[in-house]
Chain A
Amino acid sequence: MKKDIIISGVGGQGILSISAIIGMAALEAGLNIKQSEVHGMSQRGGDVQANLRISSDTIYSDLISHKSADLILSVEPMEALRYIPFLSPDGWIVTNITPYKNIPDYPDEEALFAELKKHKNHVLVDADRIAKECGTARAGNIVMLGAAAPFLDIPYDMLEFGIKKIFGCKGEDIVNINLKAFKAGMEVSEQVLAGK
């Protein structure tokens, strides 16, 4: 088993929590992981990404090679496209559709979605809306984690373990909201996969 995943978004959108949860889950499942993150200057509203590599064998490089990512998981639609050079020909794009507009020349949304749909394997998720329905707009990144779950090859229990570990200190209510958000995200991808 080997998965190379690029997680992308804008500094401050919580991609490091997604990455940490998957990392913990993979470790719990007895897999090897390497998870390379961006700290420092670009966290101030710039584009950020994490390279997450999971494998049953030894992982050497902390970085993913061009055209070899199995999954681009993005919490922002334009940021998903920034890492296209890393996507393998059979890889999946799973992205939130809500734009984060902190630049003056943000592209036209319809054109952006058209570009995303050019790739045969894509799941577009209205994560912000789903998160609100689950109880908090702040769980958008966990909705996206859920949407990515069917592509991870990590058992559900392990991911649940990761969520509980990350949010456990914030109380049971927060854990439950996030678990609900996770499942809601997962359903979106399962529907897309069922239609394939």
Chain B
Amino acid sequence: MQKLLLLGAEAIAQGAIDGGMSGVYAYPGTPSTEITEYVQDPELARQRNIRSQWSANEKTAMEAALGMSYSGKRAMVCMKHVGLNVAADAFMNSAITGINGGLLITVADDPSMHSSQNEQDSRYYGKFAQIPILEPSNQQEAYDMAYFGFRLSEELEVPVMLRITTRLSHSRTGIVRKEEQPQNELTLPKDLKQFILLPSLARKRYKKLVEARPKFEESSAQSAYNRFFDGPDKSLGIIACGIAYNYLMEHYPNGCDYPVMKICQYPMPRNKIKEFEEKVDELLVLEEGYPMIEELLAGYFRKGKSVHGRLDGTLPRIGELNPDIVGEALGFEVPEEEEVPEIVAPRPPSLCVGCGHRDAYSALNVALKEYGDGHVFADIGCYTLGALPPYEAINSCVDMGASITMAKGAADAGLHPSVAVIGDSTFTHSGMTGLLDAVAENTPITIIISDNLTTAMTGGQPSEAENRLENICEGIGVDPEHIRVVVPHHKNHDLMVEMMKEEFEYKGVSVIIPRRECIQTLARKKRNKVAGKRV
């Protein structure tokens, strides 16, 4: 069969489509964005009528996917690792409600924080919720897991997590497709109380979940993704999880000298791990992310056989793995590292030339000059780059929406002025509820919604409240006289500075909206228009 050249993220999308998915729900976030974008491809959307529009945030996405599952259809929700924090309430409880149609929760972790605030390991969430986790070691396996994942979820009657990392998501390779499965029919759950987590009912559901554990382990034991490969040298046994298996095999293309247990489905099959442990003298655990399995196998007092990994210093405690790090842990001679020539200067990312955020920050820095440094709480998006030179204009970036609420807390503590900088899409993701808190107390804060009419950092996805931000702010209760819209442009610099200074001195909630389209999406629209004319 003809191979398709796909990113890992796209392979998951294709696998889910072929596996009979009826809808995908997501909010964009690196490295997960390309999954949903692939399903949104106009040609595919036309052919298969799969629901794929972006959601306001990961929580609304998770809940909508659960609703589709309730209705008997196969649904997938996708997010980056920190997005699962946003969706956690719905996520944890979906393990207890169980599913009707197959439900896949695809979470893309970002070890080494290439494009994130932390490197949390989502496998802990899967363990926390007590559901099975699939962790592909390569892109073909990612396709297969998405394809079979719905069926697994239906068999085990719980949502299944599909955990990937940046390298798997953003690496392209040839993928072999399987036969397309039909989508499920609309079917209500047999028990119409299944999804009611009233305490008396929730206790029963939770008991069912806990009692299903042996079934999940048996599924892992039988799983084709968990495989044992014997090796002649029993002095060491290697447990290789997910993509770490590839970094191991890079050094043993013709088979490993040591016995290897490849783990790509959790919970770990206890019996098989026990058999494996008995065969070897010591264990080495290779896992991308936190030392979850290593900690489990080593035990608190480390009384059993030696277990090596990230905790005992055999591998670095933080950051992603790579073939060099794994090779060194296996005792391979690592070539002496050549330095990057001194002449090479760092080239950090920066706001694009012509970006409206630049003009907003230029004005903000001038307007704040008389008050000194330390007044600006920012958020997640391109404008976080305002932290770097030449602007160095912000003092926080924590989580989606935290700019407004942190500014509120600081104002409560007496900081004046207290300024929030947030983007349009981040505002509708998680900023609106914080604004309501501020309005409820009329907290003196100035919120700058730097509006570029798109979700820019992740590649220009539509912003849900395009051109409705003023109405939303007014509806939440901000005094219309203190909702001020301006075009962030060099020629409006003085106007913006004046506007900001006025609002800093207002003793209540004010919102300034510098609005100008992202120059990247603008350029793309122009290109598409030109291409369209040629056709």
Bound together, the chains give a CA A23 to CA B5 distance in angstroms of 8
Distance from B425 Cβ to chain A, minimum over Cβ atoms (Å): 15
Q: How large is the interface on B (under 10, 10 to 19, 20 to 34, 35 or more residues)?
A: 35 or more
A63 touches B340 (CB 8 A): no
A60 touches B253 (CB 8 A): yes
Residues of A within 8 A of B340 (CB): 81-82, 84-85
Per-residue A-contact encoding for B243-258, CB less than 8 Å = 1, 0 else: 1011111100100000
Interface-facing stretch out of A29-37, A139-147, A153-161: A29-37
A33 touches B115 (CB 8 A): no
Given A35-B171, A67-B335, A41:B457 Cβ within 8 A: yes
Residues 20-70 (chain A) with a chain B CB within 8 angstroms: 20, 23-24, 27, 32-47, 51, 57-67
Which of A24, A32, A37 contacts B170 (CB under 8 A)? A37
Q: Which residue, of A38, A41, A66, A79, has the highest number of chain B Cβ atoms within 10 A? A: A41
Residues of B within 8 A of A10 (CB): 347
Which of A24, A44, A60, A102 contacts B247 (CB under 8 A)? A60
Residues of A within 8 A of B382 (CB): 44
| 9 closest cross-chain pairs (CB), A and B | A40-B115, A46-B349, A40-B30, A62-B171, A36-B171, A61-B250, A44-B349, A60-B246, A60-B249
B429 interfacial by beta-carbon distance below 8 Å: no
Residues of B within 8 A of A23 (CB): 5, 172
Residues of B within 8 A of A44 (CB): 349-352, 382, 385, 457
Which of B3, B172, B337 contacts A37 (CB under 8 A)? B172
A24 touches B349 (CB 8 A): no
Interface-facing stretch out of A104-112, A124-132, A177-185, A186-194: A104-112
A-B pair count, CB < 8 Å, reads: 149
Per-residue B-contact encoding for A79-97, CB less than 8 Å = 1, 0 else: 1011011010000000000
17 contacts between A and B (CB under 8 A): A20-B172, A39-B33, A40-B30, A41-B457, A42-B349, A44-B350, A45-B350, A46-B349, A60-B246, A61-B322, A65-B250, A65-B322, A66-B338, A81-B340, A87-B338, A103-B347, A107-B345
Q: Which residue, of B168, B248, B349, B531, has the highest number of chain A Cβ atoms within 10 A? A: B349
Given A106-B345, A169-B531, A35:B338 Cβ within 8 A: no
Bound together, the chains give a CA A130 to CA B340 distance in angstroms of 29
B334 touches A115 (CB 8 A): no
**Interface size on A (CB < 8 Å)?**
53
Which of A35, A43, A78 contacts B345 (CB under 8 A)? A78
Residues of B within 8 A of A82 (CB): 340, 344
Bound together, the chains give a CA A78 to CA B338 distance in angstroms of 16
Given A40-B457, A46-B349, A102-B350, A61:B30 Cβ within 8 A: no
Which of A32, A41, A47 contacts B115 (CB under 8 A)? A41
Q: What residues make up the interface of A, taking CB atoms closer than 8 Å to B? A: 10-11, 19-20, 23-24, 27, 32-47, 51, 57-67, 78-79, 81-82, 84-85, 87, 102-103, 105-107, 111-112, 115, 169-171
Which residue of chain B is the closest to A169 with respect to CB atoms? B531
Bound together, the chains give a CA A41 to CA B397 distance in angstroms of 14
B274 interfacial by beta-carbon distance below 8 Å: no
B349 touches A39 (CB 8 A): no
B477 interfacial by beta-carbon distance below 8 Å: no
Which residue of chain A is the closest to B338 with respect to CB atoms? A85
Bound together, the chains give a CA A137 to CA B341 distance in angstroms of 30
Bound together, the chains give a CA A65 to CA B346 distance in angstroms of 22
